[in-house]
Amino acid sequence: MTDASGAFADEIRTFTLDLADEAATIRLARLLAPLLNTGDVVALSGPLGAGKTTLARALIRAVAGDPDLEVPSPTYTLVQLYPTRPRISHFDLYRIGDPDELVELGFDEAAETGIVLAEWPEQAPDVLRAANLRLTLADRPGGGRQVAIHALPEAAARIERPLALHAFLAASGEGDADRKPFPGDASARRYEVLTTAAGRPLILMDSPDLVLGPPVRDGRAYAEIARSARNTVPFVAVAGALRERGLATPRIVAFDTSRGFVLMEDLGREGVLDADSRPIPERYETAMLALAHLHATPFDPHLVLPDGRPYEVPPFDHAAMGIEASLLVDWYLPHVFGRPETQGERSAFEAVWSRLFTALDTAERHIVQRDVQAPNLVWRAERTGLDRIAFLDFQDAMVGPSAYDVAALAHDPRVTIEPALEDRLRGAYVDARRKADPAFDEAGFAAAYAIMAAQRQTKILGIFVRLLLRDGKPQYLRHIPRIKAYLRTILTHPALGELASLYEAWHLLDEADAPHR
């Protein structure tokens, strides 16, 4: 059975939105405009005065990027053309006498080479059959209007998440906030800066559920073994847990973990680097002291979200540590060898790391955020004490060796931490821990610090080559010399003698990345 558009009815997705006023209609147009592509035919249905022309005019202006663009109604001309990219043809078919007039109006060419907006599509069945988006507007009881958006599968896939995000913001009371893109990271997460009607800045995180990918070991995907966060539940839960323990994190304003939307406090833009992208020692040291404060307090991995749901922070176990480290033999080793690794090389690598992970079994354990580095820290000069530093990235938090985050911060992969500064930062952490507990095991911490630093930098070498070869992102390669320099220093610790010998035999830390011969 088919509907009026000629499409199979069970293929059509329908989305319904309430539009309180003309401003809401314009916001909907601005949301849809960047989602429209060449070949889209958008049919606008509804009675006289329902707002079809208002919506069409706002769509044209949004695609043109000109809010003041003159957009006359095509009631008498039947079609108006706009040299936007893609080109827009705006049809008003109310006065069409014969559907064959569509040919004379150039409908087919317009539908093939640009975007078509067609009001009164019921007057020309061919338009309804060609439409992949149909918006039907009607008055809403009690005021305002309602729009039903009927979309064929490909168009529905494009608009579904943006419309869900629109609904989330409306439900949180921020549907009319001004939205601007905000730079993200190497993940699939997307961020926006929102300015509310009251002028308050907020950050929106749009984080789709993690796609696990193919199985890589024992029938399990990499993300399963590494215990990567699959949704926004860990972020929401851990944000609150860290705040309760004295660390500054964004306050969560609203969240929808089923969709992956989080609206949170905007903590500012000032970071921990100077104008030349060099570390500001005081700020890094404050972050170290915040970690020391956190690790000196008890931690229960059984957390509760603001809506009452439980969440348990997973363990950073041998399997997770190992699959991360193995990125080196999966990606970096073939890159520098010019060939795939051998089974013998992989076995030797895994055996060394297995013994190192066993050595960590007696290390102090706590919650570790697992990405404490410059891009994820905010400096708030107007605050005092530890509240001056805020932490932003902890969705992959686990319970593991406390030394992990300390080692991560002191070996920032994107920022050169000179040995003197590393000594100062590590010393500040150890002094704070001893002050809180004179029995703090400094020797045990030093060994765990070295192992975790080596594991993290080993993983990152693999990740940065993977970003190049799999994702087409070569910009991360510029950090590899820094990471190799870190490793050359880290591997001097006695606990890492066997690993140092292996990496030396493979010439992995040589200055150049030429294939080994």
The predicted-structure confidence for 28-84, as pLDDT tens digits, reads as follows: 999 999 999 999 999 999 999 999 999 999 999 999 999 999 999 999 999 999 999
Confidence band, pLDDT 50/70/90 cuts, at residue 3: very low
Q: What is the mean pLDDT of the chain?
A: 94
For residue 239, what are the CA distances in angstroms to 303, 310, 456? 11, 14, 23
Tokens of 78: 């039947």
The distance in angstroms from the start CA to the end CA of the chain is 67
**Residue 185: what pLDDT?**
58
Opening angle at CA 457, ends 501 and 443, nearest 5: 70
**Residue 181: what pLDDT?**
87
**Residue 142: what pLDDT?**
85
Region 166-175: mean pLDDT is: 92
**Residue 517: what pLDDT?**
33
Confidence band, pLDDT 50/70/90 cuts, at residue 511: confident
Q: Report d(CA 408, CA 372) in Å as an integer.
A: 6
* DSSP annotation of 46: -
User: Is residue 243 scored above 60 in pLDDT?
Assistant: yes
Region 406-415: mean pLDDT is: 97
Least confident of 17-31, 353-367, 423-437, 479-493: 17-31
Q: Report d(CA 173, CA 305) in Å as an integer.
A: 21
Q: Report d(CA 313, CA 308) in Å as an integer.
A: 15
Closest Cα to residue 189, out of 242, 255, 260?
260
**Residue 97: what pLDDT?**
84
Which carries the bigger pLDDT value, residue 510 or residue 345?
345
**Residue 5: what pLDDT?**
45
Is it true that the peptide bond before 208 is cis, omega within 30 degrees of 0?
A: no
Region 182-203: mean pLDDT is: 84
- 470-496 pLDDT, tens digit per residue, is 999 999 999 999 999 999 999 999 999
What backbone torsions phi and psi does residue 441 show, to the nearest 5 degrees? -85, 90
Alpha helices in 221-328 (DSSP H): 222-226, 233-244, 281-295, 318-325, 327
Region 402-413: mean pLDDT is: 98
Is it true that the peptide bond before 306 is cis, omega within 30 degrees of 0?
A: no
Q: Across-strand partners of 217?
A: 220
Confidence band, pLDDT 50/70/90 cuts, at residue 184: low
Confidence band, pLDDT 50/70/90 cuts, at residue 187: low
Closest Cα to residue 453, out of 479, 482, 490, 426?
490
User: Is residue 340 scored above 80 in pLDDT?
Assistant: yes
One-letter amino acid for residue 49 of the chain: G
Region 99-120: mean pLDDT is: 94
In percent, how much of the chain has pLDDT > 70? 96
Answer for the pair 239, 252: CB distance below 8 angstroms, yes or no.
Answer: yes
User: Is residue 454 scored above 90 in pLDDT?
Assistant: yes
Least confident of 2-16, 301-315, 419-433: 2-16
